[in-house]
Structure 1
Amino acid sequence: TEPTSQTTISDDSKTGRGMSTMPRVVKRKLQKLRPIVEYNKRGKGIGQAHSEMQSYIGVLARSRVPLVDKKWSQIPKDVKEQIWEAVDMAFVVGQGGKKSVLTSAAKKWKDFKSTLTRHYILPYTNDKEKLSHPPETYKFIEKAQWDAFVASRLSKDFESVHSQHAQIREKLEYNHRLSRKGYAGLEDQLEETMPGVEIDRSTLWKRARQDKHGNIPDPKVAEKAKLIDELQKQVSEGKVRVDGSKDVLTMALGPEHPGRLRGVGAGISPRQYFNLPKPQRVSFDDRLKESLRVLLQEETNKMEAK
């Protein structure tokens, strides 16, 4: 039988650093099976293989990248190359490529440091014993790295930066409730359950803030969702006209910040989104054919290179 996701399997015989908690991926690597990652019409990853790949990238980012008070750009290139090679061995990444994998790794590494800071350091600033060793959950962290990281997080410089970020977070409104599937996964899910219906970003924005029962707990968000419903109704009745970036979501929330776009996820610019032709549903068969074409091309290239 296949191991459960709770089993811990070593995934780094070269360096001895880090432990993988995704034996399913490791098992497939040993069998030389590589799931094909799918993408939607905007180039955002979707589907189970993409979700598994993102989890695996998270494991690698936590266990293989040193826990240091540095920026991602300062991390050695060979460490990043190891992450890319591990992912490329486990998945047919396709159009996302190396850049998207390392961008994801950078974010997950940053999030990991934030998690450690918020849950395992700041609550115990007066408990030296608690801070004297890495958390039990992350036993792979070397003590020397942990000690240095804790010291950096308790410094006056970090305290100032943390305070600034906290003030910024307090100003954030309309937080979504999406899981790791993100907007791309949500859009794919809605297109499966609502065939023939155009899923615009106002619908995505609203659905991303609903709980599992379809309710919106935050009164401010609920008020905006109600406005979106009313605007969508007026558009369908011809009473309100949408034109390019002046769409329902912009009418409901106000103008976008330059270069950013709400309701579609990271990496999609206004130009990319609004210059696309009318979305058309791409069937699963078509996506599978395209993914297989990418896989065959990869294998052909490898054979020619030998």
Structure 2
Amino acid sequence: MLSAVATKFRQHKSYLTREWVHGKHKGKSPCDEYNIDPEEWEKFKEIRNDPSWKLVRKKAQDIQKLNNAPHLLSRGGYELLVRNYMKRELKRLKEVAIQSGASEDVVIDPPPPPPRHRLWNMAHTKSSREMTSKSANQIAQKIEQESQGSFIPEGRQDILNTTLGRPEHPGRVRTAGVGVTIGDYFGRLSRGHPYLD
């Protein structure tokens, strides 16, 4: 819970910086709207306008520009994407069962969650069925080729990792949601594993 609160707080500070310090509301005060003490707001603006802070901001923006395959997830992230997928899939399975003659009270077992590579595709697909970028489209085509073939996952090298060609971030797992570590998702590496030697 504290982690979620910290994330929301960081997001709010980013929003204030983007919109109220440097953006379209620059020069105005959000104090009344967000119940911020005017003195605190002045301190916040001073920090955000400091040259050293602007260097940090510029560095983060430059890193973000390197993301050539942006996703379309809302604040709910992959967790919300999976929840919505499961609801839709359960509804579809129920409709199929009813069409085949079952009663409306039929109980359907929940479907399994989609595999990681499918989640990645879903997160990078617009409502128009186009991918978010040329790079995302190329990755999606590679994922499709790998999943149609006889790909055999080996340890932590599943279809998604193999297609992207990059290992997982040390602190999190792509498509797994907040708080899921590599060890949680893939299991711990055994003592004789080459990565641990």
Shorter-chain TM band? 0.7 to 0.9
Q: Does the CA contact (< 8 Å) of 2:143 and 2:163 recur in 1?
A: yes
* C-alpha spacing 1:153/1:214, structure 2 compared with 1 (3 Å): same
Q: 2:158 maps to which residue?
A: 247
Which of 55, 58, 62 in structure 2 is aligned with 1:163? 58
Q: 1:26 maps to which residue?
A: none
1:233 partnered with 2:148: yes
Q: 1:108 maps to which residue?
A: 8
* Structure 2: runs of 5 or more not aligned: 91-110, 189-197
Which of 12, 15, 18 in structure 2 is aligned with 1:118? 18
Q: Scaled by the length of structure 2, what TM-score is found?
A: 0.75
Q: Does the CA contact (< 8 Å) of 1:134 and 1:141 recur in 2?
A: no
Give the Cα–Cα distance (whole angstroms) in 2 for the partners of residues 171 and 227 of structure 1.
Answer: 20
Q: Does the CA contact (< 8 Å) of 2:117 and 2:160 recur in 1?
A: yes
What is the Cα deviation at residue 110 of structure 1? 0.9
Could you say what secondary structure the match of 1:178 adopts?
Answer: coil
Q: 2:133 maps to which residue?
A: 218
Aligned residue pairs total: 167
Q: Does the CA contact (< 8 Å) of 2:72 and 2:124 recur in 1?
A: yes
Q: Could you report, residue by residue, the CA deviation over 1:48-76 in whole angstroms, capped at 9, with x for unpaired residues?
A: xxxxxxxxxxxxxxxxxxxxxxxxxxxxx
1:258 partnered with 2:170: yes
Q: 2:104 maps to which residue?
A: none
Which letter does structure 2 place at the counterpart of 1:275? G
Q: 2:80 maps to which residue?
A: 185
Which letter does structure 2 place at the counterpart of 1:251? T
Give the Cα–Cα distance (whole angstroms) in 2 for the partners of residues 231 and 139 of structure 1.
Answer: 49
Q: 1:206 maps to which residue?
A: 121
Q: Scaled by the length of structure 1, what TM-score is found?
A: 0.50
What is the Cα deviation at residue 212 of structure 1? 2.3
Which letter does structure 1 place at the counterpart of 2:125? Q
Q: 2:181 maps to which residue?
A: 269
Q: 2:43 maps to which residue?
A: 148
What is the Cα deviation at residue 154 of structure 1? 1.0
* C-alpha spacing 1:249/1:102, structure 2 compared with 1 (3 Å): same
What is the Cα deviation at residue 180 of structure 1? 2.3
Which letter does structure 2 place at the counterpart of 1:103? S
* C-alpha spacing 1:183/1:137, structure 2 compared with 1 (3 Å): farther
Kindly report which structure 2 residues correspond to 1:126-137, keeping only aligned pairs within 5 A, or say none: 131=27, 133-135=28-30
What is the Cα deviation at residue 119 of structure 1? 1.2
* C-alpha spacing 1:184/1:135, structure 2 compared with 1 (3 Å): same
Q: 1:14 maps to which residue?
A: none
Q: Does the CA contact (< 8 Å) of 1:228 and 1:249 recur in 2?
A: yes
What is the Cα deviation at residue 205 of structure 1? 0.8
Which letter does structure 2 place at the counterpart of 1:202? H
